[in-house]
Amino acid sequence: MLMFTLTPQALSAVKTFLALASLTLSLPLSLSLVLLSTSFVPTVHATPIPLPIPPPPVMISRDVITPKIIQPDASAVWSVGSVQVVSWDTSDLPPDSEITNPIGKVVLGYDENGSLNLDFDNPLVQGFNLRDGNVTLTVPDVVPRDDYLIVLYGNSGNTSPTFTITAKDF
């Protein structure tokens, strides 16, 4: 005697086949054969094989450097069109091998009613090494106000105190 073990899905398919077979006995032979031949589709069931679970990814420690901006400070007054220096403290910078992004960018912005507005599309200067400690720039033609600030970006951002930019000196 031949014995089979059926999965629940296979058992359901056999029951469906037998139900259709009993239904087809009352139909003409040609139609019964068509129904029987198209109603039973063999199913292959594979035994799941456990696969090893890969170890979680190693988290790499990333540096966050936020050098303190020295200039401009809160007492700074810049004029549109003047040449100014933005400087920052480099004494706490880690070794070069530990700095993720040593290339800096200086962005001008202003703080209006506690909302920071930064002009990312028009950086004042970019492409310098953060180890340089300072960059020189020309103050763009902006509306005079007393709540401007500088943001120094490398792998993180650091913001200066607010300062004033006045109209161009003639």
Q: How far apart are CA 148 and CA 80, in angstroms?
A: 12
Tokens of 53: 């679970």
- pLDDT tens-digit readout, 35-68: 555 555 555 566 777 777 777 776 655 567 788 9
Cross-strand pairs, 15: none
pLDDT above 60 (res 136): yes
Q: Where are the chain's structural domains?
A: 69-166
DSSP 82: -
73-121 residue pLDDT tens: 999 999 999 999 999 999 988 888 888 888 999 999 999 888 899 999 9
Does the pLDDT value for residue 143 go beyond 50? Answer: yes
Structure tokens that stand for 28 in this block = 């003409």
Q: What is the pLDDT of residues 122-135, one digit of tens each?
A: 999 999 999 999 99
Q: Thinking of the domain 69-166, which architecture would CATH place it in?
A: Sandwich (2.60)
DSSP structure string for 102-142: -EEEEEEEEEETTEEEE-TTS-SEEEEEGGG-EEEEE--S-
Closest CA to 110 of 72, 138, 65, 82: 72
pLDDT, average across residues 145-170:
90
**Among 66, 79, 83, which Cα is nearest to 160's?**
66
